[in-house]
């Protein structure tokens, strides 16, 4: 029974990742890629069950699409599985971040946000504040209005997701683990200590998203008075990688990436972790948190995908 649930949720997840209707044959191929070997017939059987549940819908003979109920089901089912999902989604983005800081080419990971058109000017000021304070991971952002994911009447913002850094480290042979999302207290422009941490491997909702919607940030205060609480991530690398890490950071800084806040084996009030080097970096979500604090109705997809670095700079 549990095994069955796992399969039908995977079908829903595949449909969720694809905009167009999909037939049983293609679905069974994609299922096999993910380790679920099923005959077309078995897929048909699961699909008719999903139709009855109202999770999928048949579009003529082109195949099936996800219904809003099906979308909600992928957000609610298999809670244990989804605890690992937050991080594995980010790891996929890291792996696909092919950015090379030597040549400034390749893809970076990004977050996609959109705000109502009437709030656009206000949002832009709020974004610029974050750039000015250097707490947005990357020193610029991109405005887009033509994208199928942005509803009409809204303007989109592309911000660079800090998971890009993990991709760059990995490609340089440095093993890196995203450990925590946290809220970092800053006094007179100096980072003082973490107020809270949530581990990426222990939650079904992105830690930084939790802090933003709970009103536990004061990024706007920080941009105004240099005192406040901003969002930061903690990553861990082996201590023996320090030199390589420092070199990589130097190269990335030259390309416009603004980090780290701090780096060391025992920094701030982080839990001790022997032989590991913690890298603390501000998150690109400070742009979004600052919007929320200003009452701007912003919607964000964290880790929306990867795009060429040159496109962000356009």
Partner 1 sequence: MALPLKFFNHVIEDYAMRVTFDPSAGEGTIVFNLSLVKNEDLEYAISILKDAFRSGVSVSGLVRFIPSGVKLDDFVIPAGCTGICTMCSITFDSLLIRRGIPINPIGGGIVEIEDRAPVRFTHMILYEHTTVDPLEVLMSQKTTSVMRVMRKGSGNILANIREFHMEAEPLVEMVLDELTSSSYSGILEVGMPNTPLLGVPVSPQYISIAAIGGTNPMAAIRESGRFVQARAMKGLMDIREMVDIRTF
Between 6 and 41, CB nearer to partner 1: 6
Between 115 and 212, CB nearer to partner 1: 212
Give the range of 8-16, 124-132, 214-222, 251-259 binding partner 1 by CB under 8 A: 214-222
195, with CB counted inside 10 A (0-12, 13-18, 19+), is: middle
144, with CB counted inside 10 A (0-12, 13-18, 19+), is: middle
Region label for 252, one of left (φ > 0), alpha (ψ between -120 and 50) or beta (otherwise): alpha
Query: Which residues, 253 to 282, sit near partner 1 by CB under 8 A?
Result: 266, 268-272
DSSP letter at 218 equals B
- Binding-residue pattern over the window 220 to 259 for partner 1, x denoting contact by CB under 8 A: ----------------------------------------
> Are β-strands 276-282 and 262-264 bridged in parallel, bridged antiparallel, or unpaired?
antiparallel
Give the shortest CB-219-to-partner 1 separation in angstroms. 17
Pick from 175, 215, 246, 311 the residue near partner 1 by CB under 8 A.
Answer: 215
Pick from 196, 262, 296, 307 the residue near partner 1 by CB under 8 A.
Answer: 196
Between 172 and 221, CB nearer to partner 1: 221
Residues 145 and 218: their CA atoms lie apart, in Å, by 29
Judge contact between 194 and 216, C-beta under 8 A: no
Residues 30 and 63: their CA atoms lie apart, in Å, by 14
Rule CB under 8 A: say whether 66 interacts with partner 1: no
Rule CB under 8 A: say whether 194 interacts with partner 1: yes
Residues 159 and 163: their CA atoms lie apart, in Å, by 12
Total chain residues near partner 1 (CB under 8 A): 33
Query: Which residues, 174 to 193, sit near partner 1 by CB under 8 A?
Result: 192-193
Between 19 and 215, CB nearer to partner 1: 215
Give the shortest CB-197-to-partner 1 separation in angstroms. 5
Cα dihedral angle (30, 97, 287, 83), rounded to 10 degrees? 50
Residue with tokens 């941009």: 223
Which residues in this chain contact partner 1 in the complex, by CB under 8 A?
A: 2, 75-80, 82-83, 192-194, 196-199, 201-205, 210-211, 213-216, 266, 268-272
């Amino acid at each position: 029974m549990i095994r069955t649930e796992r399969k039908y949720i995977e079908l829903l997840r595949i449909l969720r990742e694809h905009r167009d209707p999909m037939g049983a044959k293609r679905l069974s191929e994609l299922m096999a890629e993910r380790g679920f070997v099923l005959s077309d017939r078995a897929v048909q059987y699961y699909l008719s069950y999903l139709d009855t549940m109202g999770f999928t819908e048949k579009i003529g003979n082109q195949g099936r699409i996800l219904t809003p109920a099906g979308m909600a089901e992928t957000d609610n089912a298999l809670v244990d599985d989804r605890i690992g999902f937050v991080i594995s989604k980010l790891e996929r983005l890291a792996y696909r971040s092919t950015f090379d800081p030597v040549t400034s080419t390749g893809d970076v990971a990004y977050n996609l946000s959109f705000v109502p058109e009437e709030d656009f000017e206000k949002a832009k000021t709020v974004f610029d504040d974050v750039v000015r304070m250097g707490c947005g991971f990357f020193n610029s952002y991109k405005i887009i209005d033509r994208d199928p994911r942005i509803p009409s009447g809204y303007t989109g913002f592309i911000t660079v997701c800090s998971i890009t850094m993990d991709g760059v480290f990995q490609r340089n042979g440095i093993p890196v683990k995203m450990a925590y999302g946290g809220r970092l207290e800053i006094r007179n422009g100096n980072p003082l200590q973490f107020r809270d941490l949530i581990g990426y491997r222990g939650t079904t909702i992105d830690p930084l998203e939790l802090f933003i919607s709970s009103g536990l940030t004061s990024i706007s205060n920080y941009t105004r008075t240099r005192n406040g609480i901003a969002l930061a991530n903690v990553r861990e690398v082996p201590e023996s990688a320090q030199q390589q890490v420092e070199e990589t950071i130097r190269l990335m800084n030259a390309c416009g990436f603004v980090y780290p806040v701090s780096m060391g084996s025992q920094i701030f009030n982080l839990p001790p972790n022997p032989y590991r080097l913690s890298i603390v970096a501000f998150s690109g979500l400070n742009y979004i948190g600052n919007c929320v604090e200003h009452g701007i109705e912003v919607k964000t997809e964290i880790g929306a995908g990867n795009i060429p670095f040159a496109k962000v700079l356009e």
